[in-house]
Amino acid sequence: MIIVPVKDGENIERALKKFKRKFEKTGAVRELRARKNFEKPSVKRRLAKEKAIYVQKLRLEEDQ
């Protein structure tokens, strides 16, 4: 459960913003979307490998 302490006189929008940030960090929405459709383990591995190659390519370009 996410708890956001609100100080006296604190703006409700600021407290809501803190709540949204904490909720986003938990990754609940991301996990729900991932569970919505089954993805084969081989597809997960392939996508992870492609992402790693892409990130490595970006870092190499950044260094040059």
Looking at residue 45, what is its pLDDT?
98
pLDDT in tens, 4-57: 989 888 899 999 999 999 999 999 999 999 999 999 999 999 999 999 999 999
pTM over 0.75: no
Per DSSP, the residues of 40-64 read -HHHHHHHHHHHHHHHHHHHHHHH-
Looking at residue 20, what is its pLDDT?
94
Looking at residue 58, what is its pLDDT?
96
Task: Assess contact for 4 and 15: CB atoms under 8 A.
Answer: yes
Scanning the structure block, which residue is given the tokens 């992870």? Answer: 48
